[in-house]
Amino acid sequence: MSDLIHNKKFPNESEEYREVRNKLLKAEIELRENIEKVAKLRRELPMGGKVKEDYVFDELVNGEVTRVKLTELFEFGKDTLIIYSFMYGPNMEKPCPACTSITDGYNGYVHHLKQRVNFAVVAKSPINRIMKFAKTRGWNKVHFLSSEKSTYNSDYFAETDEGSQMPMCNVFVKKEDGIYHFWGSELLYSPSEGHPRHMDLMWPIWNFLDLTPEGRGTDWHPKLSYD
């Protein structure tokens, strides 16, 4: 790669800045290429295991609690389903602030996402409790489900053996002979120092902070309220 990547310069930047910035730019280009390589590897995954059962979830429709099966979450013409597991178990006094931050974002852009895929957010609390909190956040576009009466959370790494809730994202694909698991954000369970980064591509707040001199840091995390 040539040392001269482009001929742009910001006002009053020094030669030292440009030299170091060009080195960083090369690294950013390499990172972009690696992200694309990883995405390609992900797309080339074979189907994972067939789901062991047609999980049944609770949802709230016109104020009434109804039940919906996993297979019913696939709209006609859309064979992919993304499920994010929201950390709000029945024994948790409040939902996870980080999951809440993530879902704030989902509610803003899910109508775009749903042009291509099916999407739902699942938590283990009763559905009325989930929707009561959703109302306080103004979440009116996300499809919320309760896994209170199924083993979905424990089966797909969204719950520890001790019952603690975990922030997993899982992708399922519909085939002629059933529903298959395709991918999960199991980077969450790999050894790491600091942020596990398993949700980085779906949680842009950290990517914004990575652009700053301070970085994302280790002590700051989103809160439920800043009042």
Under 8 Å between Cβ of 205 and 222: yes
Predicted pLDDT of residue 3: 65
Backbone angles phi, psi at 53, to 5 degrees: -160, 165
Element (H, E) at 40: helix 15-43
Q: Where are the beta strands (DSSP E) in the chain?
A: 56-61, 64-69, 80-85, 118-123, 144-146, 169-175, 178-184
Predicted pLDDT of residue 197: 76
Look-up of token digits 């979440």: 139
In the chain, what is the straight-line distance between the N-terminal and C-terminal CA atoms, in Å?
50
CA distance 212 to 219: 16
Predicted pLDDT of residue 1: 43
Predicted pLDDT of residue 157: 97
Q: Which CATH architecture has domain 56-186?
A: 3-Layer(aba) Sandwich (3.40)
CA distance 180 to 161: 23
- pLDDT digits (tens), the chain, 227 positions: 456 789 999 999 999 999 999 999 999 999 999 999 999 999 999 999 999 999 999 999 999 999 999 999 999 999 999 999 999 999 999 999 999 999 999 999 999 999 999 999 999 999 999 999 999 999 999 999 999 999 999 999 999 999 999 999 999 999 999 999 999 999 888 887 767 777 887 888 888 988 999 988 878 889 999 97
